[in-house]
Amino acid sequence: MGLSVHQFTEFVQTMARGLVGVAFPEICICCGMPLQQSRFLCHYCSYDRFEDANPGGADSCAGVILPEMISVQDAMWIYDKNDLLQQLIRELKYNGMGALGLELGRLTGQQVAGSRMRYHISSGADIVLLPVPLHPKRERKRGYNQSERIARGVSEKTGFTLARIGDVTRIRNTRTQTGFSMGKRMKNISGAFRMNNPGLIGGNFVIIVDDVFTTGSTVFELARTIAPARPAGIGILTVAMA
């Protein structure tokens, strides 16, 4: 028995809704408001819900002490008291939401990298976005590298060159750093990265991209790894500040 035209139309509509529902949630993952466009966050959660990590547009966020080789550090949002931003970052890291990383990267590119961070990059050098590499084992398990997704979104909005996976790799699968003291974190991460493509770094301004800036031990170690290739400068960009 075939379907009537009406049944068939209904079937196609249900299928289409189902497919769209899988690719894009229909409600904001922060507040549950219905979304107008196919995105993860509503307009309010994209632009007004979270606190700016660097409202004065300084060359680094308040309280951050940078090593000499790093001249600029910026982040879009600062962790809030009610944990909502941590939950969002956790979704990105552990719940297979690579597309959310792309969306957060676009927002970070729009709100931070292309304008106020660019302002502090005085050299006329080309800008290269370098996502913090994951160990291949961990990347396989997760299905993607959240920092790479973020950097991809930033690149989309700014036109900055995106480093390829493999230009710098993680050669040691370090334990999670949570709960470690700064000294312990530095020891844990030391020698974790290897630079495979110094040509990409030399003479360019490299912006290291990660999801959250906490103590900086990981991004500082990555900066130390690429410094011998003589970049024109090094910066750090994250979605969030803990």
List residues binding Zn ion (CB under 5 A).
28, 30-31, 33, 42, 45
- Determine the Cα–Cα distance for residues 73 and 68; give it in Å rounded to an integer: 12
Residue whose CB is less far from Zn ion, 30 or 189: 30
Minimum distance, C-beta of residue 29 to Zn ion, in the bound complex (Å): 8
Cα separations in angstroms, 1 against 4, 11, 22, 58: 9, 15, 30, 69
Angle at 228 between CA 222 and CA 152, to 5 degrees: 45
Whole-number minimum distance, CB 31 to Zn ion, in Å?
3
User: From CA 136, how far away is CA 128, in angstroms rounded?
Assistant: 22
CA atoms within 13 A on the CB side of 67: 16
- What minimum distance in Å lies between the beta carbon of 129 and Zn ion? 27
Least distance in Å: CB of 82 to Zn ion? 14
Q: Which is nearer to Zn ion, 45 or 72 (CB)?
A: 45
Closest by Cα among 218, 213, 235 to 53: 213
Residue matched to tokens 């500082």? 220
User: What's the closest the beta carbon of residue 45 comes to Zn ion, in angstroms?
Assistant: 3
Q: 30 or 127, CB closer to Zn ion?
A: 30
State which residue, 48 or 68, has the beta carbon closest to Zn ion: 48
Tokens in use for 31? 């507040």
Q: Is the Cβ of residue 42 or residue 64 nearer to Zn ion in the bound state?
A: 42
